[in-house]
Structure 1
């Protein structure tokens, strides 16, 4: 192969991609030949010495696997210079094994949280020094192979570990058709080290109401887990162990970017009855910062009329979300019960915010979490505490010297229907006001962003996040009144948002 071509490819690859290529070549290059590789040029030299670059097929497969399809153009150019009579099917062109590609796919879909779990679970099998040197899942799996804990013929331990990390990672193995049978786990669960939180009936492995007469034993190992039928009969599913089904309680959040975060920020109002909303830009900044770190592509729309809001959301709902894990929509505006206001003073029903993203209208979002966060009043009433102070006339009109304002409007009762996999975080309960600091932003949004950042580090699910928000906001007192946020949801799984 042309040396200039290989040089061009070498210049385009970073160190992590070179490390990935070395891992993919473990089956064709001996350990000593790989250890001295510092860049792609050295790797290509060793592959060339083994006769593995006589034609483009092996290198092409390597580049495709690591997602550098753009570099294939170099190979096409080089191919035009080679002898057309060369045989592309020579013995020097090995096929990259499905096993090796599968391990790389697991690495690609592995979050930092799951990598930490994986290393913890292997703490009894690998030394501390070995684990500390591992910065990626490829490093961990390479160490497992060195210790004889992982091979094409024996993936039992890897499966056991992935079962306790993410069901989607185990499904990669099943999808590749690996036939090894999972054995009894040789490592202990890590629920005490990485706790997951739930609310009410959000329990891992819970039985659906339609499965009357069935009960699932949660105390048995995955290889022995069975579903007990009335009369003493038992049924063991062949497709997935029960421990894998328990992991399916979590929404998949592996893509980068995760999805879109759309922020509608209404600060300036043309309606006669609605004042402007100073301080809302601080909320926009906080939301943009947090959701960008959480892996979302943030898009901001400012001062949108009722028609503008409808148009933007309708167009968004028609998009293809096949390659996205979730959707986030944040609306910062004035509001009343069941509605928010456009910048023109016209009402937009909360129902109309969610309607474009129901499974019927946006099928590629079906089964994926759709999160809505609404900073707006939901009425004109004040939320009182245990020992409320009667409002003064000055408080009712709004103290011009105070930095706290209400995001309110006239009251009109209207219910909000929710379909599957929706979450709507409301700044306040129905009929009551929410408060905004004209300098630092709204009480609810600022606390939400703070708790999302904490949860990204601790691994708490979104419902735990909103519970913390409820508690912290409810502790405050604003113009002698209280504020009580209210999440509403039809989520069917637990959702954990981590920083990328």
Structure 2
């Protein structure tokens, strides 16, 4: 980014705005660094070192949050200049943390009187000396984080205080908890009426009522209506419970579905590449949140999860070859998740070397892994697949069918050409891609990637409803495609040669 533009922005920032920017960067910059920053230039240097100013999008989010539209216009002019000069643009700008934006909105709306009330209520937990040094709500939030009373997944104390200060501000926290892609893993209410759950879920609960894990199971299963991100397809109608008889799938037919009879179901291998030594590849902040979500969800679905961190290209191949040589007689399925940088038809090892997508699946074909023959093999790839961005378009209204269209509908490629070599010719494979070919995928540096977080959320929802995996991935497509990420879109793409329906349920 142009240093002159950054200098002009620095000159326009007052001390309170600089403090706000530093607070908003709390998830992408080290707290010790932030405490030493005295002006905007120092902040921009730190962000540049992290690769967060390779384009203007992250800084735009910061300035938009603090309502400095005049400075946004400076950035837009700088972006247009860079485009005209042909300077390369990068993809994976991090998304500003929704958690920090929520706290900033509370700070904006908190009156001086309520700030003093907040400090009084925290006096026994933070100490008088620390609170005396807090002149704004952002200072109080920073102290609460330092004392581990507040985080993106720990909001109980903040809610307790806001109830006494301003109930409107408490609603901001509740909205964040509903909308957050990770809220369902952290904020779960107990079941008030087990009869409102699907029959299959109630059966699991009744069967395990006397086990030591019953209480934990109940808590984990009972996701309340207010905690689920709003989706038209899941909203209850008037006078109808969230889980009604209409939501229950019909009885499963054995001949129609893959058999899931073992516990554990099989292995879930997660290859999580965060730190890269390859030239031009930055570290992938936020990927640990994806790893945690995958470990949690597939653990609940009955898989033994094996996580491998920071593998080179050769190490990835070796790990997959080693896994393919195992005996899968006592397994029902296999899951492989790869979290890394990528290009079209490949992912990168930490050394910057490429591993073709076909190489990921080859060790598990029927010829090489005979004990996996006829069993589902699921691959989920979180990586960019090119350097392009996806933009949104307004859909055209449907036209009445007539003439040639009614008798002989034409065929079109959907969301770009599908490369047949990416899907093995052998049966029973599924590859879930974070994005279509030639395009980039997005990752939040504090809460994880858009695709993996949506996938984990939908897998849990589908476990309650007996949805098959293709229905689940359709919901993932819908959720991700509805979002807007730095003014761009993202479209996941599943590819499969499954021969039966696969329904993953909780064990």
**TM tier relative to shorter chain:** 0.3 to 0.5
The structure showing larger relative contact order (alpha-carbon pairs under 8 Å, at least 6 residues apart) is 2
TM-score, normalised to structure 2, is 0.47
> Computing the radius of gyration over CA atoms, which structure comes out larger, 1 or 2?
1
Give the structure-1-normalised TM-score. Answer: 0.48
Structure with greater proportional helix content: 2
